[in-house]
Chain A
C-alpha cells in the first residue's frame, strides 16, 4: 500500500504580497516577484505568493498596516516609510552618514542588526527582513552649485526623511512636492533641488536635463528594502516553508544589490555620454562637516527621548567603528591605490 509519508504531504499555502512600488519600477520591484518564483519552485508549486504592485492595491505607503491587518501576508517596502509610526524604523533602511551596504549587511546578519529589527517590529506584530539594497544613493540634483553653507540658506529642496531634518537645520527650505509634480517644479525653479535615488532610476525622471549639478551621496549610503511578514501567518507555516522563505528572501536581497549596481553603472554610462554637461559634484568639506554635526544633533535628540532608538543607534555606531576600519583597509585603499596607478 502506498501511503504518502507526512513529510511529503505538502501543505498548500497561498499568500499575497503588496509592494510599495508599481510593478514596473525595477530594481525596487524586482525582489518580490523573484521571491515568489523561487518559493514556488522550491516547494513544487505548493507555496504560492501572488505579488501586487502599487497599481493594484493603490496604497503604496500603507504596506505595514496592511500586513499587520492581514490584508496581505507579506509586503515589500522600505523601513523608513514608517518613521511617523516609529522613528526607530529608520535604521533598517539607511541613515545619513551611516554604514555602507557591506557594513550594514554584516551588522544585520552577524551582529545585532536583525535581532534589533525583529524587536522593533514585534510591536506591529510583523517580522521584517532585509529585502534588497540600493547601495549608495546620490545626494540629488541641484540647479545651482553649492559652494558654501550660505548657498544652502533658503535653498528650496525636496528631500524627505532624516536628511530633510538635517538640511532644515542648515537653513534649507525643505518642501513637500508630490512625485507627479517634481519634474515641473524643478524645471520651473519652484524648487532649486531634489533628491531621488541614483542614476538607474533618476534617468527616467529626466532631471539631468533640467538641473546640471548631480551631487554625490551622504544621506542614504545603503538603503535597505524590507520584506514584511504577518507574524501569525509566518508562525503557522510548516518549518520547511519558513526556511524556504527565509533563504529566498536572503537570496533576492543580495540579488537586488547587484541588480541596482549594474543598472546604475549602465545608466551612468549612458547619461555621461548623452549629457556630457552633467557635473558630478561633492559638497565642500565645510558643508559636509556642518551636515555631519547637524545629523549628530538630530540623532542624539531622538536618542535622548527614545530608549529603543538609542539602543539601535548605539549598536550601529559601535559596529560602524569596527567595520569602518576594515572597510578603509580593504575597499577604500584598494580603490585608491588602483586608481592612483591607473593615472
Chain B
C-alpha cells in the first residue's frame, strides 16, 4: 500500500516536473522574443513582459514540491552523510512534520486573504497594457503551498518505506525511477 502511494507520488512528480520544464522553456523563449521585438521591431508589449515573471513565478513556486520528492533541496551534510539510511529517513520524517509543514501551512493560510482581496477588486496590472487578472498569479501562492503540503505527505511515505526496509536502499529518486524502468 505505502509502496503504491510512493509510486503514485513519483509518477505525479514526473508529470509536474515535465510541465514546469515546459513552462520554464516558454519563459526563456518569452524573454528572448521580447528582446527581439524591442530591438528589431521597436515594439514592446508590456503584457508579454509581465508574462515573463508570471511564468517565472510558476516555475519557482511549484518547483519547490518537485525538488522535494527528487531530493534536490540543499542540506548541510557533514553529519547527515554519516547517518544510516534509517536515521536519515527519521530525520526527514521529523523535519517534514516540524520544519516544513508549519512553514507551508503558515504561508498557505496567510495568503488566502491576500488573494481574496485581489480577486474582490478584480485587480489588474498597474502598468499600461499589462496583464489583467492579477489574482490568478497571486493565487499561485496558496495553490503551490497546498501542493507542497500534499507532496510533503508523499515525502513522508517515501521515508517511512525506507524505515520499513521496503526499499533496498536510499538511492536518488531519479536513478531509482530509471532503474525500475530498465528492468
Cross-chain contact A168 with B117 (CB below 8 angstroms): no
- Is the CB of A196 closer than 8 A to any CB of chain B? no
CB proximity to A under 8 Å, residues B68-86: none
Please provide the chain B residues from 16 to 35 with a CB less than 8 Å away from any CB of chain A in the complex: none
**In the complex, which of the residues B44, B49, B126 contacts A156, with contact meaning CB atoms closer than 8 Å?**
B44
Q: Collect the chain B residues with CB atoms within 8 Å of residue A65's CB.
A: 114, 117
Chain A residues 140 to 175 lying within 8 A of chain B, measured CB to CB, are 153-154, 156, 160-162, 164-165, 168, 173-175
A308 at the interface (CB under 8 A from B): no
Question: A124 contacts which chain B residues (CB < 8 A)?
Answer: 121
Structural contact, A160 and B127, CB atoms closer than 8 A? yes
Contact flags B32-76 to A (C-beta < 8 A → 1, else 0) = 000000100011101001100000000000000000000000000
Q: Shortest beta-carbon distance, A220 to chain B, in Å?
A: 15
- Residue from A161, A174, A176 having most chain B Cβ neighbours under 10 A: A176
Known interface pairs A65-B117, A84-B134, A86-B121. Does A176 touch B42 (Cβ–Cβ under 8 Å)?
Answer: no
Residue in B46, B117, B118 whose beta carbon sits within 8 Å of that of A176 in the complex: B46
A237, chain B: closest CB distance, angstroms? 24
For residue A107, which residues in chain B have a CB less than 8 angstroms away from its CB? none
What residues of A have a CB within 8 angstroms of the CB of B126 in the complex? 81-84, 160-161
Given contacts A69-B113, A123-B121, A156-B38, contact A175 B134 (CB under 8 A): no
Q: Which residues of B are found within 8 Å of A322, using beta-carbon distances?
A: none
* Docked CA distance A156–B39 (Å): 9
Interface size on A, residues (CB 8 A): 25
Complex Cα–Cα for A69 and B110 (A): 11
Q: Which of B118, B121, B125 has the most CB of A within 10 A?
A: B121
Partner of B128, one of A68, A81, A156, A161: A161
Chain B residues closer than 8 Å to A173, beta-carbon distance: 38, 42-44
Determine whether the beta carbon of B42 is less than 8 Å from that of A156. Answer: yes
- Contact flag A175-B121 (CB < 8 Å), given A156-B38, A165-B128: no
- The yes or no answer to B90 lying at the interface (CB within 8 A) is no
Task: Say yes or no for A85: interface residue by CB 8 A criterion.
Answer: yes
Given contacts A68-B117, A69-B114, A84-B130, contact A176 B124 (CB under 8 A): no
Q: A176 touching B50 by the CB < 8 A rule?
A: yes
Contacting residue for A164 out of B114, B118, B123, B127, CB 8 A: B127
**In the complex the two chains form, what is the Cα distance from A154 to B124 in whole Å?**
26
In the bound complex, residues from chain B placing their C-beta under 8 Å from that of A190 are: 38
Complex Cα gap A315–B106 (Å): 45
- Shortest Cβ distance from residue B175 to the other chain A in the assembled complex, whole angstroms: 39
Chain B nearest CB from A159 CB (Å) reads: 9
Residues of B within 8 Å of A83, CB to CB, are 126
* Chain B minimum-CB-distance residue to A68: B117
Q: Which residue of B has the minimal Cβ distance to A86?
A: B121
Q: Is the CB of B124 within 8 A of A84?
A: yes
Question: In angstroms, how far is the closest chain B Cβ from the Cβ of A169?
Answer: 9
Interface pair B46/A174, CB less than 8 Å apart = yes
Q: How far is the CA of A248 from the CA of B20 in the complex (A)?
A: 51
* Docked CA distance A81–B114 (Å): 17
B129 on the interface (CB 8 Å rule)? yes
Across-interface contacts of B117 in A (CB, < 8 A): 65, 68-69
Interface of chain B residues 84 through 122 with chain A (CB within 8 A): 113-114, 117-118, 121
| Interface residues, chain A, with chain B CB atoms under 8 Å away | 65, 68-69, 81-86, 123-124, 153-154, 156, 160-162, 164-165, 168, 173-176, 190
Known: A65-B117, A160-B127, A161-B126. 15 other contacts (CB 8 A): A69-B113, A84-B123, A86-B121, A124-B121, A154-B42, A156-B38, A160-B126, A160-B128, A173-B38, A173-B42, A174-B128, A174-B129, A175-B38, A175-B44, A176-B46
Where the two chains meet, the residues of B that have a C-beta atom closer than 8 Å to any C-beta of A are 38, 42-44, 46, 49-50, 113-114, 117-118, 121, 123-130, 134
List 13 contacting pairs A-B, 8 Å CB cutoff, sorted by A: A68-B117, A69-B113, A84-B124, A86-B121, A160-B126, A164-B128, A165-B128, A168-B128, A173-B38, A173-B44, A174-B44, A174-B129, A176-B46
- Which 10 A-B pairs give the minimum distances between C-beta atoms? A154-B42, A84-B126, A165-B128, A164-B128, A83-B126, A176-B49, A175-B44, A173-B44, A84-B124, A85-B123
